[in-house]
Every structure is written in C-alpha cells, then in structure tokens.
A and B are shown apart, each in its own frame.
Chain A
Amino acid sequence: MDSQYKIIHPVKYLQDHLAQDVRPDGRQFLSFRSISVNISSITHADSSAIFKIGNTTIVCGIKAELAAPKAESPEYGYIVPNIELPPLCSPKFRPGPPSDQAQVVVKLIENILRNSAAIDLKDLCVFKGKLVWVLYCDLMCINYDGSIIDACIGALTATLNTLTLPETLYNIETGSVSVNYTKRLKFPIKALPVSVSFAIFNDQLLIADPTDDEESLCLGRLTIVMNEDKICCIHKPGGIPISQDLFLRSLTKCKKRAELIRSLIDAAVSTIKQEHLNE
C-alpha cells in the first residue's frame, strides 16, 4: 500500500511524512545517511576512490598526463574535472551530450577546487614553460540518489589525497623527458574541502542530506562547502527565500558533519599507507 501511495501521490506522501516529523526513509530532519569510502579500487588510474552516501555512489579516477603549459601561465599545471551522469544512474538522464545539470556540477566542482586552494597548480610544474602535469579527474555516477555534489567532492578529495606522481626529469638541452615510474612521489594537498547539502521545504523546514525524491520535490537547495575553519562555497541557486537564522543552523550542522567526513577520509587514506609499509 505504501509504495502505491508513493507512486500515485508523491507530493502528499512526502508531506504526510514531514508532518509526522519523520522522513520517508525513517531519518530525522537533520540526520545524515551513512558514508563509505573505498580507496585505490581502480588499479589502472593514478589514484581512485569510490564514495557512497546512502545509495548515491560516485567513482572517481585521476589520470595524470604530461603537457606543455599555457604561454600566459608557464609554471601552472591544469586540473580538468569531468562528471558523467549516464542513464544507468537515474531515469532522469538520457544518453547523449552532457546535460545542463552535469555542466553545472562540473563548474561548481571546479570553483570549489579553486576557492578552497586545495591544490597549488605550481606543484604540477615539472619544468617552467616546458612541461607540466595535467590531472584528468573523471567522476562517474553509478547510482543517483541526491546530494550529488557532496559525493563528488568526497570522492575527489579522497582521490587527490592518495595521488602519487612518478618522478619526472626534463632535460633542457636535448628536450627529452624521462619518467621514473618506479619512484612515485606523494602529491601535496593543501586543504580538504567537505561539502554538505540541504533541502528546504515550506515554513523554513531544513532537511539535511536529501535523497533524490526529496530533492526533486523540495522548494530550495543549499550547499555549503567548508575547509578546516573557513567556508569556501555557499551555493544556493534560487528557490524559496531563506532567513539568516536558517543559514546559521545549516552552518553549525555543516561544521560537525565536515569533521566526521574528514576523519573518515583520513582513516581510509591511512589504511593505504599501512599497506604500503607492510609491503
């Protein structure tokens, strides 16, 4: 009966739940879904991670390639994020060129990486003006169930945290490049941004970590990205107007959640280090 009601009357189904102070999946308004992180699952990528928030699953792989830098920024490398939202992950998406949503998510991820200063692009320089690393960060959504930005940022930071680049030497006289694949150096990460999403319903009702159903029926969405102590992105594209009080509540909630996610990623990264030591 419950599932039929949900299909026939999705809006009322959700509202009835919210009126009872509970969400359709049994969570409290401000409680989050469980997260799981798996690191270095793809052996052919330079580094990789699988990040899950509830059902939402993102796979991230980074491939590093050598290229010539731009003339106007001779000592900066590039980082090229890309997200794929295939029809596999949700019936909302159709095969074909990237949807508007995918483009917005990519742009947002790019902004977050730049604003949080997690990566110093100078670290990607091999030889000034001649050779730099390009990091292709490919994000693939396997299962789309809301809070996609949180999962993407989680997967990306976990991947960047385990990234190692082979030692590369550039000979200025002959212009030859020698890459030593056996000796890999850890790529330095300056910050660990964590993103937390909220959905807003009538009467300034704030819901944390919305699922896809909640996200598609909500009146407004809010994403906050935090570094250790600073905010590096507050993204609210529109929707229902919200008060300052709601911002404060979401910020305090975000701080707590960010600590948890950070410790989880750190724990996952440290297991990798342990394995290396044991070898």
Chain B
Amino acid sequence: MDTSEETSQSEYILRPMNCELNQLSMPDGSAMLMQGNTAVIAGIYGPVEAKPQKMIYDKASIEVSYSPIKGPTKVDDRMTEMYIKETCEAAIIVTFHPASAICINVQELEDSGGMLGCTINAACLALINAGIPMKFTFAAVNCMIQEDNEDIILDPDSIQLQEAKAEFTFAFDSMDKNVICCYTTGCFTETEFLKAMDRCKQASQYVFDFYRNLVKKYANVI
C-alpha cells in the first residue's frame, strides 16, 4: 500500500528545479532556471519606451528575443519566441503601460529536453523579479507518451525523448489552472491528449509551489 502511494506521489514529481534571481545586474529582472540539465537565463527590461513602429497606443507591446546556444536565431526559434510572447502577453496587464514596451530576452544555456517549458517558466520568474504587474503567474510542464507501452512520462529528459511517440508542452495559469498555451509534436488520440493535459495540470502545482518558495527566499524584506 505504502509503495503504491509513493509511486503515485512521485508520478507528479518533475526533474529538480534550481533557480537564481537577480543573476544579471543590468536588466530590471532576471532569472536563471535549471530544470534537470536544461538551463536558460532570462532578463527583462521594462516598461521602457517603445520604438515608434512597434508602439501600441493603448497597451504595452511585448518584445521577445530568444537566442539559441549556437548559431544565429533560426526559423525554429521564431516559434519559441511567439509562444513566449503570447503566453506572457496573456498574463501581463498590458493596459497598465500604454505606449511602452516590455522586452523579454531569453538565452539558452543547455538543452536536455523540455526547452520550451523551461523558457516559459524562466520568463515568468523574471517577470515576477522585475515586478511587472500580472493577472496571474503561469507554469509550463512538459510531458511525453512513450512509443512502446504508451506510458505518460512527466518532464522527460533528452534521452527519454528519443523514445517518444508524442510530446506535449502545456502552460497553465495560477488561478483556475486553465491552459494558456499548448504545443504538441507527434500523433496522438483525444484520450491520450486529455490524460496528458490532466497529468501536467496536477504537476503544475509543483512549479507554482516552487515559485512561491523562491520568492519567499528572495523577498524576505517584505
């Protein structure tokens, strides 16, 4: 009985997460996040004055730049940028800062699976660190379905991903745990999708708890 409970507990556990805030001195907020061996660093400038061509008169424009570890930014990275941009846009109260810009810069440090999820989480932590007003925080969780036994594995690393039939990345909001963003690769059925979403939703609580503990540690003055 005990062992079954233990496994059901550890089913929701993700790879160990480590984060350091205020790693960079120039940005208004920064976060270096490690999920297992996947590591990124995110820095936020904002709200700053927007360039005339990118200015939106009634809300803040969000600019995201994602730099991979090697080589220049490619077409693949535009997709990552779009996901980060639209997910952050959903959370930030953009109408608070009309005609200004919030620049989110993410640098990949090491990729060992679950890169998109890690960048989204790092962006969220950097936004918290920068003190940008948000409607809710968000947490991304990665999972995959195994090729042979159709098991769902949460937060797989790059070795496990080689045996993946399908891979999912979900981002949830902290209030109702609804889905903000959803990225999939591979072929899957509706039930598999819903099951994966459910598992990730439960696991997202772990990420939110991590955020809370981290902020408690850094914001001891408050």
Contact = CB atoms under 8 A, between A and B. Distances in A.
B187 A238 contact: no
Interface string A200-240: 00000000000000000000100000010111111111111
B190 A231 contact: yes
Contact of B85 (A107, A117, A238): A238
A241 B90 contact: yes
A241 B176 contact: yes
B82 A100 contact: yes
Contacts of A220: 90
Contact of B172 (A117, A233, A241, A251): A241
Measured as residues with beta carbon below 8 angstroms from the partner, the interface class of chain B is 20 to 34
A115 B164 CA distance: 12
A232 B188 CA distance: 6
A247 interface: yes
B15 interface: no
Contact of A251 (B76, B87, B190): B190
Interface in A168-223: 220
A116 interface: yes
B180 A239 contact: yes
A235 B182 contact: yes
A241 B178 contact: yes
B190 A238 contact: no
Contact of B189 (A230, A237, A239): A230
A108 B173 CA distance: 25
24 contacts: A103-B75, A111-B185, A115-B187, A230-B187, A231-B188, A232-B187, A234-B182, A235-B182, A235-B184, A237-B83, A237-B85, A237-B183, A238-B85, A238-B86, A238-B89, A238-B171, A238-B180, A239-B89, A241-B90, A243-B179, A244-B194, A244-B198, A247-B197, A251-B190
